[in-house]
């Protein structure tokens, strides 16, 4: 299924953009920052979605707006687990995906940890501002 993010603001990732060791997932910073020309050195959020999920599609504009607003301070990444060409379906188990959309905090180091906040726009903005 097609990715819903096609612009330059939200960076769509595929399986090869991650390092998986013993079910611990980390962003492959070399691949993402060097090969995809995406600036490094900032925290971010990984939006894990399925293109058939209505909530995922409805939140698309919010994430694109956040990506533009916080462009050089906080990164917004996306992972379509139904992108079979990118082998993304293999990411559901190591990331422990059970619902869509799912959000993860990505530290500057590439470490990926759970996002435990509410999924409201106001709470996400507070989280972003706190982690800039």
Q: What is the pLDDT at residue 29?
A: 76
Q: Closest by alpha carbon to 112, among 29, 48, 27, 32?
A: 27
The least confident of 36-40, 86-90, 102-106 is 36-40
pLDDT digits (tens, 9 = 90+) for 65-79: 999 999 878 999 999
**DSSP three-state, residue 1:** coil
Q: Are 76 and 44 in contact (CB under 8 A)?
A: yes
Averaged pLDDT, 8-31: 86
Cis previous bond, 101, omega within 30: yes
> Is the whole model's pTM more than 0.85, yes or no?
yes
DSSP 90-122: GGTTTTT--SSSEEEEE-TTSBEEE--S-SSHH
Q: What is the mean pLDDT of residues 32-54?
A: 79
Average pLDDT over residues 75-99: 90
Domains in the chain, start-ordered, CATH in brackets?
11-130 (3.40.30.10)
User: Residue range 31-50: average pLDDT?
Assistant: 75
> What local confidence, expressed as pLDDT, does residue 34 receive?
57
Instruction: Write out pLDDT tens, residues 98-130.
Output: 999 999 999 988 899 999 899 999 999 999 999
């Amino acid at each position: 299924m097609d990715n819903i993010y096609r612009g330059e603001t939200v960076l769509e990732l595929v399986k090869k953009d991650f390092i998986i060791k013993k079910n611990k997932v980390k962003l492959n910073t070399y691949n993402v920052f060097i090969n995809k020309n995406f600036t490094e050195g900032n925290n971010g959020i990984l939006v894990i979605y399925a293109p058939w999920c209505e909530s995922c599609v409805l939140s698309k504009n919010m994430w694109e707006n956040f990506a533009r607003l916080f462009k050089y301070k906080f990164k917004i990444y996306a992972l379509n687990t139904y992108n079979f060409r990118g082998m993304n379906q293999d990411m559901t188990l190591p990331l422990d995906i059970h619902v869509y959309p799912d959000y993860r905090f990505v530290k500057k180091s590439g470490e990926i940890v759970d996002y435990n906040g509410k999924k409201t726009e106001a709470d996400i903005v507070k989280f972003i501002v706190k982690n800039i």
